[in-house]
Amino acid sequence: MSSSHVVIAPDKFKGSLTAPEVAAHVAAGLRRVHPEVRLTALPVADGGDGTVDAAVAAGFTRRRAIVSGPTGEPVTASYAVRAETAVVELAEASGLRVLPGGVRAPLTASSHGTGELIAAAVADGARHVVLGLGGSACTDGGAGMVAALGARLLDSRGRDLPPGGAALRDLDAVDTSALTDRLRGVTVVVASDVDSPLLGPDGAARVFAPQKGADPEQVQILEAGLARLDAIVRRDLGRVVAGLAGAGAAGGVGFGALAFLSAQVEPGIAYLLDLLGFAAHLDGARLVVTGEGSLDAQSLRGKAPVGVARAAGRAGVPVIAVSGRRALDDDELRAAGFAGAYALTDLEPDPVRCMADAGPLLERLAEQIARARLGEPLSGPRATS
């Protein structure tokens, strides 16, 4: 690539802009000041919301399927394919954002639709499935997902369990024979930014179930259900995976993928950057602009912008972060690999207005970045900010 291009590789601004929308607004602001600079937009994701969008932006083909939503209602969900690789995003089928009316159902929400999406991808010819985990509405340990793929989770009377994490307390046996046949020759990689185990104080129920609407009593019910699932999997499948990093991702769907699908767990952003061919776009780049809605301590635990900064740093390309709000100081930013950071709250302190006007504000930030990092325009009218 030429030596004049800028790579724009943001994650979403949650609740405000998708990653492709963030990239488009950054590009618009940069072009106002430097129309001559070539821009390469490569939206990214860490396995959560927006993972399919990022894959499509990188050249994958979008496919759609009607599957079960987290509370059983039909939803139209997307996955992405390229050759024999499919990118499946749990949030598309089993995420909080597809709950009807946003009403949460912490005890009964299921990952069944995610399994249906995997099945659709396999029927489409996929032999390598990348499963992005994040933003889930369920805490069912992946039980719904694996049931959709042919596994049977049975109570003491030999009946299939109803959906949801609470029902797992009645689990008595699992049968994976049909699932094994269905997925023969298919490999699964879990891409997740969560390194939590399944159980305990850092696990799926205690840390994440409250975000899905669970009160303290319901958290204990879900913890008991996940513990029962782990015990039966140990006994019937001989799999001891509950303590592995990522088992607690997406309400324990990471555990289901490890235990039933023999999946590998990979750090979401690093794996997806490799899958999307990010390194090739850094060749000769003069600047990378990345970002997410909130640049804070959570960002330092492997979120997309830090992953982008690390990859660009290895290539010797400076990285600027844009965000809705910034909660990291200059030393933390430098240590994470950023040459600078700009936040919408620098322009508009009211967070409500920041969310409502995120696009135009982001373009103004991009104009500032263009002048500060690419120099003043050689000629022509200056854009206002």
What is the domain partition of the chain in residue ranges? 6-44+283-374, 51-269
Q: How many CB atoms lie within 10 A of CB 284?
A: 12
Phi-psi region of 332 (alpha: psi -120 to 50; beta: other; left: phi over 0): alpha
Domain 6-44+283-374 has CATH 3.40.50.10350: yes
**Average pLDDT in the 256-263 region?**
98
Residue 375's pLDDT is: 86
Cα distance between the two ends of the chain = 31
Reading the block at residue 124, the tokens are 């489409």
User: DSSP for 219-278?
Assistant: HHHHHHHHHHHHHHHHHHH----TTSTTTTHHHHHHHHHHHHH--EEEEHHHHHHHHTTH
Reading the block at residue 333, the tokens are 């930013």
**Average pLDDT in the 23-34 region?**
97
Residue 56's pLDDT is: 94
Phi, psi of 69 (to 5 degrees): -75, 180
Has residue 267 got a pLDDT over 80? yes
Cα dihedral 198, 201, 202, 207 sign: positive
Residue 301's pLDDT is: 79
CATH superfamily of 51-269: Glycerate kinase, domain 2 (3.90.1510.10)
Has residue 3 got a pLDDT over 80? no
Q: pLDDT for 172-202, tens place per residue?
A: 999 999 999 999 999 999 998 788 999 999 9
Q: pLDDT for 202-211, tens place per residue?
A: 999 999 999 9
Residue 379's pLDDT is: 52
Residue 146's pLDDT is: 98
Residue 378's pLDDT is: 58
Has residue 98 got a pLDDT over 90? yes
HSE (side-chain half, CA atoms, 13 Å) at 4:
7
Average predicted confidence (pLDDT) for the chain: 94
Cα dihedral 270, 120, 14, 276 sign: positive
Has residue 1 got a pLDDT over 60? no
Has residue 123 got a pLDDT over 70? yes
Residue 383's pLDDT is: 38
In this prediction the pTM is: 0.90
Q: pLDDT for 271-322, tens place per residue?
A: 999 999 999 999 999 999 999 999 998 888 778 999 999 999 999 999 999 9
Q: Where is pLDDT greater, at 86 or 378?
A: 86
In terms of C-beta density within 10 A (0-12 exposed, 13-18 middle, 19 or more buried), how is residue 45 classed? Answer: buried
Residue 382's pLDDT is: 41
**Average pLDDT in the 135-160 region?**
98
Q: pLDDT for 34-91, tens place per residue?
A: 999 999 999 999 888 899 999 999 999 999 999 999 999 999 999 999 999 999 999 9
Residue 48's pLDDT is: 86
